[in-house]
Amino acid sequence: MATGRTHRPATRSRGIPEATVARLPLYLRALTALSERSVPTVSSEELAAAAGVNSAKLRKDFSYLGSYGTRGVGYDVEYLVYQISRELGLTQDWPVVIVGIGNLGAALANYGGFASRGFRVAALIDADPAMAGKPVAGIAVQHTDELEKIIHDNGVSIGVIATPAGAAQQVCDRLVSYGVTSILNFAPTVLSVPEGVDVRKVDLSIELQILAFHEQRKAGEEASSQDAAQPVAPPVRPAPAAGTEDGHDDSDRKGPDGDVPAVMPA
């Protein structure tokens, strides 16, 4: 959840805590839903429930933006939608390039949540020449060679990486060199970027592993004794040290579950 790369140097931006910024989109979504139902005002309690957070937290979050509420009444929905949108920078147009048009890239291109929030897919890029020209989500896929021109012509500052892990760093470097300063990374790799470039990562596998941890804990509490066989590796030895001979087995180089997925971002 966090800017994986660079530790938090300028975490705090202009008085608005990072944790609060991360929740603003959540509030915005809830407010938008209310707006569509023509609800004029909401209390912090109601809105908090809709957004799934604590009401005190919500009020404190809003207090960083200013005093936009009316005591005894609540918040004006339309006004708040505008204020949050402005704070998040959604009142302007953000051209975005998506690199790596596999299953995931295509899903992203088709994702409706982008356009409705001020994001515009400026181009779909893929390294495979066979993909070039092929329409995905109504946009013709372009080859990587076009990347620089596209970024310059459209003033793209946000890039989405949906390539396999092996290509991610290379793609990232190119994006950055062409002027992209914010990257959303779906490839399961740690990206290295220069100072000033923001990286956020979404890793499907990691999310599942975290769930598995809690799931195991839940199961373990009920029945402390193991019930499931352990089909994976055996207990392995803790390495007693002594004469170190590396030696055996090296046939497993790129073999099994290599991080390089044949299909998609693994």
Partner DNA sequence: ATGTCTTTGTGAACGCGTGCACAAAGATGG
Partner DNA sequence: CCATCTTTGTGCACGCGTTCACAAAGACAT
- C-beta contacts of 40-49 below 8 A and 24+ residues apart: 40/76, 40/77, 40/78, 41/70, 41/73, 41/74, 41/75, 41/76, 41/77, 42/74, 42/75, 42/77, 43/73, 43/74, 43/75, 44/69, 44/74, 44/75, 46/74, 47/74, 47/75
Residue of 56, 60, 79, 152 interacting with a second copy (CB under 8 A): 79
* Comparison of 11 and 145: residue with beta carbon closer to a second copy: 11
Asked if residue 186 binds DNA (CB under 7 A), the reply is no
Q: Choose from a second copy, DNA, none: what does 76 bind? Cβ within 5-8 Å by kind.
A: a second copy
Phi, psi of 156 (to 5 degrees): -75, 130
Q: Considering only residues 131-190, where is the footprint of a second copy by CB under 8 A?
A: 157-158, 160, 181-184, 188, 190
The residue (of 52 and 130) whose beta carbon lies closer to a second copy is 52
Of 43, 102, 134, 166, the one binding a second copy (CB under 8 A) is: 102
Told to check if 236 binds DNA by CB under 7 A, we report no
263 in helix, strand or coil?
coil
Give dist(CA 7, CA 22) in Å, integer: 17
Candidates 17, 46, 64, 111; binder of a second copy (CB under 8 A) is 111
By CB under 8 A, the residues from 80 to 99 that bind a second copy are 81-82, 85, 87-94, 96
Q: Per-residue contact track with DNA, 11 to 40, x per CB under 7 A? A: xx----xxxx--------------------
264 is an interface residue for a second copy by CB under 8 A: yes
Q: Does 55 bind DNA (CB under 7 A)?
A: yes
CA geometry: angle 70, 75, 80, nearest 5 deg: 125
According to DSSP H, which parts of the chain are helical? Answer: 18-36, 44-51, 55-65, 77-88, 103-110, 147-154, 165-177, 204-222
Choose the contact partner of 149 out of DNA, a second copy, none; CB within 5 to 8 A by kind: none
Q: Which does 255 bind (CB under 5 to 8 A by kind): a second copy, DNA, none?
A: a second copy
